[in-house]
Amino acid sequence: MVPAVNDRQPGGEPGPEDDSQSFAPLGKRIKALLVWPKIPNSFWGFRGMLELLSEKVVMPPLGLITVASLCPADWTLRLVDEGLEDLTDDDLHWADLVMVGGMEVQKEGIRDALVRARRLGRRTIVGGPYASSQPQRMLALADHVVVGEPDEVFGQIAAALESGTAKRLYEITDKPDVTRTPIPRFDLLRLKDYASMSIQFSRGCPFQCEFCDIIVLYGRKPRTKLPQQVMAELDALLRLGWMKQIFIVDDNFIGNHQRALELCLELEKWQQAHGFPVVFYTEASMDLARKTALMEAMVRANFFHVFLGIESPSREALAETHKFQNLATDPVSCIDIIHEKGLWVTGGFIVGFDSDGEDIFDRQIEFIERTAIPWALLNSLHAMPHTALYARMQKEGRLLEDALHSSGDANPPNFRTKLSPTVLLRGQAKTLTAIYEPKSFYERAWRSMERWSIKRNQRAARQPGPVAIAAILLRSVWRQGIKSNYRAAYWKYALRIATHFAFNPAKIWMAATIMISGHHFIPYSREVIGKIGRQIERTETPQELVAVPVAE
């Protein structure tokens, strides 16, 4: 690699944004290392569950392998997913260009990768959701920062890197035509190490939830790929041997519900032509319950479950955050309808809205129990940069400067809430204690299986061989059924599913998946509750409760 020509000495920190800095051309045939920092454990991470399976992480870095597909054909690419392997100095020395992407939750790993690469004299470029929301922070760490979606301009960026004319900051405001986005480079992945694969159908969401940064990053007009593009991606995965679950990662799969319906009709044909090799799941808004034809088409295409942004049983909170799509129909009825139509429901829940009173925690618990949602992911509200909520908190002088970039399962909001921080944290701990108490978790799991009306055409994902299945079950029995302190609830649930669903392969597969997931949700919820307890101690320090207004 030819070192960069600028004022920074090897091993030094990069300077501020300055397009006058010049960089030596990297030339053709660049060796590019794509780095996906490890994601800290969370309710989404299923770390405990993965301890019982043969896979190592849940999903691959779809954004990075999509960027890889945009790179010139004569570049040599390597991918390091730090969820699977450590990033080594040898990896960095190999590369002419280190390309890092990630989300806010990966910010420490993003920083570490960039700092290490810069110290070794490697050229660095960073993009993705975190870089797009915090470009100034990234300019202090990377040679080049890409803000926005690079699909239609990455060829120009690549040419500039080769010629030495690349800018420090690329701010892409136009939303690309995703019908021109190529097939992600699935071949760069170690497929056997992933429990689920990811594809994307659409970007953007038509709604206006105050706290959501998706509409900021990707816009409120959903842009969809063509069905034949999705089929080509599935064909590519099938050729590589993928026959398990596929997550359609759209933040709202039904943002354009007519296009989603058209896709599902084609997915059904694809599944039939290939013997139903995969199971799909996705995320959607609550108004899915009002779209009967779409739900039926999803089920025929072999969708098994859907994550809903339920957020709160409080109509006042939903109105406050402009989540009007959740107000049109009774949410309990919505979930009942979706279960009856053949889709198993998971949900996201939020506390910390201005309208929340001290009773919100009991209301959340009651709602989760009533709707029988085992995987109920609870977080406190956070004001993400550039969102309407962030702007409102900034205008009202309620942002907490020290907490601006702290998010996680145990952290309080980054703004001064109407509820006191201690009440909010104690309530969050109370809710997690209630819903992930082992008996409650497995009882809810059982009731969800009873309510989920699986249809005849739904088929479980292709299973590993009998030896692998036996190994998973033995690990589950040992870790959950013998060593755990929740073994009584585990065995009661296991006996129920064995006696009721033994001749229903699709339902017993899903029921067994939930049974094993208890090894994640029960211990991890206790870990979060412990962190919340320590956070309460810090929050009760008076000086940490003072809101420091953030400058415009």
Identify the pLDDT of residue 3: 35
Element (H, E) at 435: helix 421-435
Site of tokens 């190592």: 56
390 occurs within a structural domain: yes
Confidence at residue 540, expressed as pLDDT on a 0 to 100 scale = 67
Please say which residue of 421, 451, 481 terminates a domain: 451
Name the nearest CA neighbour of 252 among 229, 297, 219: 219
Q: Which helix (H) or strand (E) holds 320?
A: helix 315-320
Q: Which of residues 451, 473, 489 is at a domain's end?
A: 451
pLDDT averaged over 10-residue windows placed end to end, the chain, 552 residues: 36 47 90 97 93 95 98 98 98 98 95 98 97 95 97 97 97 96 98 97 94 90 97 98 96 96 98 96 96 98 97 96 92 97 97 97 98 96 93 94 60 92 95 98 98 94 84 96 97 97 92 97 96 84 45 38
| Greatest distance between any 2 Cα atoms in the chain | 71
Residue 206 inside a domain? The answer is yes
- Half-sphere CA count of 325, side-chain side, radius 13 A: 21
Looking up tokens 């009773």, which residue turns up?
A: 359
Asked whether residue 20 is domain-assigned, the answer is no
Q: How many Å separate Cα 385 from the centre of its chain?
A: 18
Are residues 265 and 310 located together in one domain of the fold?
Answer: yes
Q: Is residue 253 part of a domain?
A: yes
Q: Are residues 261 and 160 in the same domain?
A: no
Residue whose C-alpha is closest to residue 214's, from 414, 400, 352, 223: 223
Same domain, 145 and 238: no
Residue 467 lies in a domain: no
**Same domain? 144 vs 254:** no
Instruction: Looking at the structure, tell me whether residues 361 and 251 fall in a common domain.
Output: yes
So what's the pLDDT on residue 312?
A: 96
Residues 205 and 166 grouped into a single domain: no
* CATH number of the domain residue 211 falls in: 3.80.30.20
Whether residue 217 sits in one domain with residue 139 = no
pLDDT at 403: 56
Q: Which domain holds residue 42?
A: 31-49+60-171
Asked whether the whole model's pTM tops 0.85, one would answer: yes
Whether 401 is covered by a domain: the verdict is yes
Residues 106, 45 share a domain: yes
Residue 204 forms part of a structural domain: yes
Query: Of 451, 486, 508, at which residue does a domain stop?
Result: 451
Rounded Cα–Cα distance for residues 299 and 375 (Å): 20
Measured in degrees and rounded to the nearest 5, phi and psi for residue 122 equal -85, 145
Same domain, yes or no: 162 and 239: no
Q: Helices in 189-305 by DSSP H: which ranges?
A: 214-218, 227-239, 257-274, 292-300
**Helices 292-300 and 257-274, interaxial angle, to 10°?**
20
Q: Is residue 408 in a domain?
A: yes
- The CA distances from residue 370 to 232, 312, 335, 445, 501, in Å, are 41, 13, 10, 12, 23
Domain count, the chain: 2
Domain of 144: which CATH number? Answer: 3.40.50.280
Given this model, what pLDDT does residue 541 score?
62
CA atoms of 408 and 431, how far apart (whole Å): 16
CB 152 within 8 A of CB 177: yes
Identify whether residues 268 and 360 lie together within a single domain. Answer: yes
421 and 361 within one domain: yes
Say whether both 280 and 143 belong to one domain. Answer: no
